[in-house]
């Protein structure tokens, strides 16, 4: 196969949570440009509609906007049913939605904050992966991509709940790769500091971490696309349970 054929997503359907902005929007756009129809899921419907309309206008692919709070299991069945109702299948699931709220000190981490971070970053991706992965296994297979964080391997005091949840997501990747194999591949992207809302909120701490990066800079949003296309496409046909660092050489 040629390089173009390896990364071709024509005829496939990709669902991306947190798909209305940042890394999620970049992946939605890239998948559509590679030939896939897409489901843009996020908490705010207006933002999903804006991205979906842009995708259809610029790529000619179909795009379904859907409002969903990933941390609430009772909303996930509706998302899955809408995706399968519109397209008949999901070939690629990207668990990208995430949150990492700031807190003054570890003593200021409330149970509510902890639970919200776990729900968005770990509980929701588990449930959505089970719902879609089970259908993928019964059908033609597919690819699940979890978006973790370099912080899951290099946790810092200002991201304790977030790093803990993402470390759980890494473990989930390996577990589900074995649970859904051989028809479904499950892999993880681990971004480092990118120009997103989350990293911008980390302020001075994020700047300190950049000093130890081999590339000496934060990532631009579109630089997540290469890894995402690799895991979504046939280029990664022999990769599952993998954790790919996309972090500019963070140490």
What are the residue boundaries of the structural domains of the chain, listed by start?
Answer: 3-241
Q: What is the pTM of this model?
A: 0.94
DSSP the chain: --HHHHT--TT-EEEEETTTSHHHHHHHHHHHHTT-EEEEEES-HHHHHHHHHHHHHHH---EEEEE--TT-HHHHHHHHHHHHHHHS--SEEEE--------SSGGG--HHHHHHHHIIIIIHHHHHHHHHHHHHHHTT-EEEEEE--GGGTS--GGGHHHHHHHHHHHHHHHHHHHHHTTTEEEEEEEE-SBSSHHHHHTTHHHHHHHTT-TT-SPBPGGGGHHHHHHHHSGGGTT--S-EEEESSS--
Select which of 66, 84, 162, 230 is catalytic.
162
| Model pLDDT, residue 196 | 76
Q: Which of 166, 170, 158 is nearest to 209 (CA)?
A: 158
pLDDT tens track of the chain, all 251 residues? Answer: 888 999 999 999 999 999 999 999 999 999 999 999 999 999 999 999 999 999 999 999 999 999 999 999 999 999 999 999 999 999 999 999 999 999 999 999 999 999 999 999 999 999 999 999 999 999 999 999 999 999 999 999 999 999 999 999 999 999 999 999 999 999 999 999 898 766 665 555 555 556 678 999 889 999 999 999 999 999 999 999 999 999 999 88
The reply to whether CATH 3.90.1150.10 applies to domain 3-241 is no
**Alpha-carbon torsion 153, 159, 164, 169, what sign?**
negative
Which neighbouring-strand residues pair with 15? 39, 93
| Model pLDDT, residue 52 | 98
Token digits for 31?
């998948």
Rounded Cα gap, residues 39 and 36, in angstroms? 10
Q: 84, 90 in Cβ contact below 8 A?
A: yes
| Model pLDDT, residue 206 | 55
Residue 162 known to be catalytic: yes
Alpha carbons within 13 angstroms on the beta-carbon side of residue 176 total 29
């Amino acid at each position: 196969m040629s390089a173009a054929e390896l990364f071709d997503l024509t005829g496939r359907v990709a669902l991306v949570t947190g798909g209305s902005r940042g890394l999620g929007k970049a992946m939605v756009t890239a998948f559509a440009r590679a030939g896939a129809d897409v489901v843009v899921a996020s908490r705010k419907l207006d933002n999903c509609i804006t991205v979906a309309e842009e995708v259809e206008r610029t790529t000619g692919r179909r795009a379904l906007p859907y409002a969903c709070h990933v941390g609430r299991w009772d909303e996930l069945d509706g998302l899955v049913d809408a995706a399968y109702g519109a397209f008949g299948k999901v070939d690629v699931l990207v668990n990208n939605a995430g949150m990492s709220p700031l807190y003054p000190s570890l003593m200021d981490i409330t149970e509510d904050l902890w639970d919200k971070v776990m729900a968005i970053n770990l509980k929701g991706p588990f449930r959505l992966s089970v719902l879609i992965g089970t259908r993928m296994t019964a059908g033609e297979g597919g690819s699940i991509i979890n978006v973790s964080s370099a912080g899951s391997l290099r946790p810092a005091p200002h991201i304790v709940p977030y790093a803990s949840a993402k470390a759980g997501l890494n473990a989930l990747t390996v577990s589900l790769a074995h649970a859904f194999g051989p028809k479904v591949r499950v892999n993880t992207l681990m971004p480092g500091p990118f120009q997103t809302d989350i990293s911008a909120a980390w302020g001075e701490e994020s700047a300190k971490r950049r000093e130890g990066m081999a590339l000496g800079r934060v990532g631009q949003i579109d630089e997540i696309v290469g890894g995402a296309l690799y895991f979504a496409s046939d280029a990664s046909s022999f990769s599952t349970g993998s954790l790919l660092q996309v972090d500019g050489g963070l140490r």
